[in-house]
């Protein structure tokens, strides 16, 4: 019986084997075929990826679109879909490109990091972007940071967005993170801290930026931005001699750079720093001379010359100003500075000559000249007649100036020449209806001329202007 059972089981095993034989044969036949297909698709994937990358790098956008399109049909990798989106946008198919980008990186959830960053950049292109747009960009960058947490650019872009929302502390925090990841951003941190008057951190960031920029200038001597920035942080750190040397080296290795203007700024910075230390006038003038020699067209140097001080026994200031004037450089501002100096020295005729020339060459300087005359009204011991002489001379050249007429009217009112004052003040009123002092002076004129009702009206207007301010 045992033997018979074994025989029956043997027959059943043989039967099962024969029944499974077609499947076994099929596997033996299909496996090489499937391996062939897989190998072929793998080779196709490699071919399309190489060609897609080549076309993308060569900016052959239409060809890149075709290759990436076929590539993701074989293997829809996120990286290839990202590059397909970039290629579509570059080829002009914005709608499909943006649809692909949104599909692999939505602002509501974590997606493909580089796609988040790209979309954030697109949103930040407009400097006038509204709060909603900036908030969406922050969402993209926050999602990108989950996978690209070592990417300094993500933190830098986040800082830019936070500036846009007014979140100063969050912006600084992101900028600090970016700087730790990439020392190139220490300069940006330096500027941000400087702007927000965080003095200890500004100095620390300047030192770290200086270390990085020093190496950058040494390794890439033609990198103008690095050299300019290096000089800027050196000036901030009061290392003026080194800043000067770096600029002079820049002019040697890169003669086409605009080094002289920056050199003039360096000398001006040195001048201001030494001026605060109350050094001799002779030393101060040396820096200004160097600055003017480096950049003869610098109006900042001329303005500093005007503010150095009236007492100049050596006469160097006058000589420098007059040389600048005779050379034909920035005549308007030089005339104004010379006029201001003559005015302070009570050389009225000379002052008026230079002020008239300044205003004729540059109408914007008329306000400054007018202010000199007006200043006599504000001083306790102001010489109103002297102010009147200046404004009269200016009005001979420019009789229709409402500002000049208002100043003369104020001076005349101060001298109690009421009727003459009224003529000028009423002429100026349509242009300066919200000027409190003008209404106060008109009230004084009308009172003195027996018109109390009109005087009262102007006092009410003056009071309402004061309340609104």
Helices 94-104 and 78-91, packing angle to 10 deg: 160
Listed residue (241, 238, 237, 263) closest to 250, CA to CA: 263
pLDDT at 25 > cutoff 70: no
pLDDT at 292 > cutoff 60: yes
pLDDT in the model for residue 36: 39
pTM above 0.85, yes or no: no
pLDDT in the model for residue 35: 38
User: For the residues 426-439, what does the mean pLDDT come to?
Assistant: 92
42-51, 175-184, 246-255: range with highest mean pLDDT: 175-184
pLDDT at 14 > cutoff 80: no
- For residue range 361-419, list pLDDT tens digits in order: 776 666 666 766 776 776 777 788 888 987 887 788 788 889 889 999 999 999 999 99
In the structure encoding, which two tokens stand for residue 415, read together?
A: 């001298």
pLDDT in the model for residue 75: 87
Query: How far is 36 from 91, CA to CA, in rounded Å?
Result: 35
pLDDT in the model for residue 3: 40
Report residue 309's pLDDT band, with 50, 70 and 90 as the boundaries.
very low
pLDDT in the model for residue 83: 94
Query: How far is 405 from 421, CA to CA, in rounded Å?
Result: 9
State the Cα torsion 408-413-417-420 to the nearest 10°.
50
pLDDT at 13 > cutoff 80: no
Listed residue (327, 334, 326, 369) closest to 348, CA to CA: 369
DSSP state of 162: H
Helices (H), 277-330: 281-294, 299-307, 316-326
Sorted by where each begins, the domain ranges of the chain are 1-89
User: For the residues 13-22, what does the mean pLDDT come to?
Assistant: 49
- Percent with pLDDT over 90 in the chain: 49
Alpha carbon 172 to chain centroid, angstroms? 16
| Higher per-residue confidence, 20 vs 1 | 20
- For residue range 418-429, list pLDDT tens digits in order: 999 999 999 999
- Of 373-377, 453-457, 463-467, the range with the lowest mean pLDDT is 373-377
- Cα 204-205-211 angle, rounded to 5 deg: 95
Give the C-alpha distances (Å, rounded to integers) separating 192 from 22, 44, 75, 219, 365: 77, 51, 46, 26, 33
- For residue range 315-371, list pLDDT tens digits in order: 666 777 777 777 776 577 778 777 777 777 777 778 778 877 877 777 666 666 676
pLDDT at 131 > cutoff 50: yes
pLDDT at 217 > cutoff 70: yes
């Amino acid at each position: 019986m045992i033997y018979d059972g074994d025989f029956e089981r043997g027959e059943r095993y043989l039967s099962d084997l024969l029944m499974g034989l077609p499947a076994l044969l099929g596997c033996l036949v299909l496996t090489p075929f499937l391996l062939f297909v897989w190998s072929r698709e793998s080779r196709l994937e490699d071919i399309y990826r190489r060609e897609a990358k080549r076309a993308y790098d060569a900016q052959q956008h239409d060809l890149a679109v075709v290759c990436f399109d076929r590539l993701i049909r074989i293997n829809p990798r996120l990286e290839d879909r990202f590059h397909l989106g970039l290629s579509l946008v570059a080829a002009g198919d914005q709608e499909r490109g943006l649809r692909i980008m949104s599909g692999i990186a939505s602002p509501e959830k974590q997606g493909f990091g580089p796609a988040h960053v790209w979309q954030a950049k697109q949103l930040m292109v407009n400097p006038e972007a509204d709060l909603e747009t900036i908030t969406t960009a922050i969402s993209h960058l926050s999602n990108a940071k989950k996978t690209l947490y070592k990417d300094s650019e993500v933190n830098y872009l986040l800082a830019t967005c936070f500036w846009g929302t007014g979140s100063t502390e969050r912006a600084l925090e992101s900028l600090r993170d970016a700087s730790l990841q990439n020392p190139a951003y220490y300069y940006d941190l330096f500027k941000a801290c400087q702007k927000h008057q965080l003095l200890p951190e500004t100095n620390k960031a300047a030192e770290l930026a200086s270390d990085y920029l020093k190496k950058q200038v040494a390794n890439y001597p033609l990198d103008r931005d690095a050299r300019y920035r290096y000089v800027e942080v050196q000036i901030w750190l009061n290392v003026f001699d080194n800043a000067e040397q770096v600029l002079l080296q820049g002019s040697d290795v890169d003669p086409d750079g605009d080094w002289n203007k920056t050199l003039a700024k360096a000398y001006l910075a040195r001048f201001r720093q030494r001026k605060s230390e109350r050094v001799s006038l002779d030393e101060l003038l040396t820096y200004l001379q160097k600055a003017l020699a480096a950049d003869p067209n610098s109006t900042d140097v001329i303005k500093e010359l005007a503010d150095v001080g009236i007492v100049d026994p050596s006469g160097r200031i006058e000589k420098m100003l007059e040389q600048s004037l005779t050379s034909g450089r920035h005549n308007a501002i030089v005339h104004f500075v010379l006029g201001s100096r003559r005015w302070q020295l009570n050389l009225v005729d000379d002052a008026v000559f230079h002020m008239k020339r300044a205003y004729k060459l540059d109408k914007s300087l008329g306000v400054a000249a007018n202010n000199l005359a007006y200043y006599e009204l504000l001083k306790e011991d102001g010489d109103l007649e002297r102010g009147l002489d200046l404004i009269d001379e200016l009005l001979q050249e420019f009789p229709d100036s409402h500002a000049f007429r208002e100043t003369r009217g104020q001076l005349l009112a101060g001298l109690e020449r009421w009727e003459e004052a009224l003529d000028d003040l009423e002429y100026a009123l349509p242009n300066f209806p919200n000027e409190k002092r003008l209404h106060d002076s008109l009230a004084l004129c009308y009172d003195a001329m027996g018109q109390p009702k009109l005087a009262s009206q102007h006092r009410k207007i003056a009071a309402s202007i004061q309340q609104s301010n």
